Structure 1
């Protein structure tokens, strides 16, 4: 495990979400002060939503000038825009509908009722990324990318032993054979994810313990996609005690593996 990866362990899911929220709000203020704006990639899932809810409920929430924050998504289920399965709908209900955002800075993936076919939708999102990219680049510079990790080690909609995790050219892919429903999805690819300055992976529950252990042990990326995640500046794993249960002892070295007592 390289020196730019850290594991932060929290007692339970509630304290985990609260800690991420506090760190996120502090960091976003710093980024805006430094750059004048910030770009964030959101994730779905139970902990992704819990984290956004914790940000919404934080007393420090309004310290952020949200009009200067751009929001993207790491992946999306190919369903109608009104579906409760949509990651962007969950994010709006948890946070975005409660803060003063600039609607032009919110970039959801297309939906099945957008008038596009799946491959057209992936091309459209790639074009939107390029439209907001620095000159000569194909996508924006993301300051913070949130990722959930599945029990099988998948990230976004990049699953083990599937072609998506090996995609090196396209920034966005169409997924038609997802091992978890729905089968059709849209996803950023690993090169885009790893271009992020900071990647924050969030894992909670005993069912994530094996995936975390394999990830930190640098398992095959094809078999454990999360093992391939590397932020350009920092990669943080925010986990609860249950998820940390199977981390190999040799990886719990000081400076790499932090508990709440170390924070």
Structure 2
């Protein structure tokens, strides 16, 4: 069963998630010597990264060695590299440039001005994942994979009833998204669900119906992609009170 954590508001949700992420990455470094995180975009995802950067400035806090953290993305918008819509750009500003993650450990998805079609960009990113994986595996270890969720239940760039929802490849090109920009690159379920832990960060009353359907068995992954994601060791829904508002018992 998923773990469900409800915080009073979006600000406290971001702070709690940031503290938990720092602790989880530090623990992974203790065990493996390195850590790996898959980032998401969106308002709450970026707010978490900003607060992680703030924690890095507090020497009394538990610390992550950011020189040994590999950073991947669950999805990104297939727009030019300097476009404000890019998840990569937001993450660099909020965290990666602040804490000094080495360039070779930042594994960004290709932008549209890289000179490739989205399908080729997806295949290239799948190759990058395979190159970083242990021998015989298609994917590296993901210690924590962060996801946001849309009001209709999309995660990464897997939208309800879209071809990506049934695509078995690790990385897919997504065209004609119902939410702009229409062209994106996304991890597929086959990659997302290999993560040690998947954390869904969800804020706002508009998302409460989809949260309730996903957690209470109201739909399958084709109709509600958020219902189809899970971690190998843990699946955590980190909600604010508004997003939890339609859960049985109020969350």
- Shorter chain as denominator, the TM-score bin is over 0.9
Task: Establish whether residue 32 from structure 1 lines up as the match of residue 37 from structure 2.
Answer: no
CA distance in 1, matches of 2:244, 2:199: 16
Q: TM-score, normalised by structure 1?
A: 0.91
Task: Establish whether residue 232 from structure 1 lines up as the match of residue 229 from structure 2.
Answer: no
Q: CA deviation at 1:117?
A: 1.3
3-state secondary structure, aligned to 1:95: helix
CA distance in 2, matches of 1:143, 1:216: 23
Structure 2 counterparts to residues 78-157 of structure 1, below 5 A = 78-157=78-157
CA distance in 2, matches of 1:154, 1:111: 21
The residue aligned with 2:181 is 182
Q: CA deviation at 1:217?
A: 1.4
3-state secondary structure, aligned to 2:70: strand
The residue aligned with 2:167 is 167
Aligned residue pair count: 247
**Where has structure 1 moved over 6 Å in runs of 4 or more?**
none
Task: Establish whether residue 43 from structure 1 lines up as the match of residue 26 from structure 2.
Answer: no
Q: CA deviation at 1:118?
A: 1.3
CA distance in 1, matches of 2:22, 2:170: 28
3-state secondary structure, aligned to 1:238: strand
Q: TM-score, normalised by structure 2?
A: 0.96
Question: Mind listing any 5+ residue stretches in structure 2 that lack a counterpart?
Answer: none
Q: CA deviation at 1:62?
A: 7.5
The residue aligned with 1:74 is 74
Question: Mind listing any 5+ residue stretches in structure 1 that lack a counterpart?
Answer: 258-263
CA RMSD of superposed structures (Å): 1.2
CA distance in 2, matches of 1:63, 1:174: 36
CA contact (8 A) 2:129 2:140 kept: yes
Q: CA deviation at 1:139?
A: 1.3
Q: CA deviation at 1:119?
A: 1.2
3-state secondary structure, aligned to 2:199: strand
CA contact (8 A) 2:25 2:36 kept: no
Task: Establish whether residue 196 from structure 1 lines up as the match of residue 211 from structure 2.
Answer: no
Q: CA deviation at 1:192?
A: 0.4
Q: CA deviation at 1:101?
A: 1.3
Question: Deviation per CA, 1:46-67, whole angstroms, max 9, x where unpaired?
Answer: 0000000011112267821101
CA distance in 1, matches of 2:162, 2:22: 35
CA distance in 1, matches of 2:17, 2:69: 17
CA distance in 2, matches of 1:71, 1:155: 18
Q: CA deviation at 1:248?
A: 2.5
CA distance in 1, matches of 2:40, 2:206: 19
